[in-house]
Amino acid sequence: MRTLAPNEKTLLLLLCGALFVAVNMAGIRSFLKARDGLRKALATGTSELSLDKNWVEIGRSLAPADDWINSHPMPRFLPDEASSQLLKSERDEAEKAGLKVTEENLLPSQETPYGQTVAVSVKLTGPFEGVVRMLFALQSPTAWRTVEKLALKSDSQPPNVVADLELHQYFQLSSSSESPPKQTHP
């Protein structure tokens, strides 16, 4: 092989240098792509972890409510029992508070995401103080009763009011409400 002329040596060195720079640029480009992909994966992982952390925190914050619900279970009734229990408690509390029941309508049983409900729509007249006492007595979380609708109007006699309210009783169907299996006779 012949020896290279000085111009050929310079061209060879420039070619090798250019090739070296091109290979390094390709290597740096792939390194930067890998680093960006790693950053994106870390960002995704971090956001998923923070979301999971939020679910854990929500679970911890709801633990007292879950404990309360477990310590105060929803009553078990048949729909008729729940209706009669609600009517009885409404009438008893109205009587204790010195209120007069002017209208009373039993509403049909409904199924909700929380369980079954029965409701009664009541129109009462009497002193405002008695209405407040009755509401405090009836709306009891441990009894699973709520006041869903309340409208107060002043009566023709000043301290008295006309209260129109709707009471709901939440309950679970008792085991005796499930239909027994049909017996077949051989």
**What CATH architecture does domain 76-174 belong to?**
2-Layer Sandwich (3.30)
How much is the pLDDT for 140?
81
Average pLDDT over the chain, rounded to an integer: 87
**Among 62, 181, 168, 48, CA closest to 120:** 168
Domain coordinates in residue numbering, the chain? 7-71, 76-174
Distances (CA, A) of 158 to 51, 129, 130, 153: 56, 12, 14, 11
pTM for the whole structure? 0.62
Q: What mean pLDDT comes out for the span 85-110?
A: 92
Q: What mean pLDDT comes out for the span 77-97?
A: 92
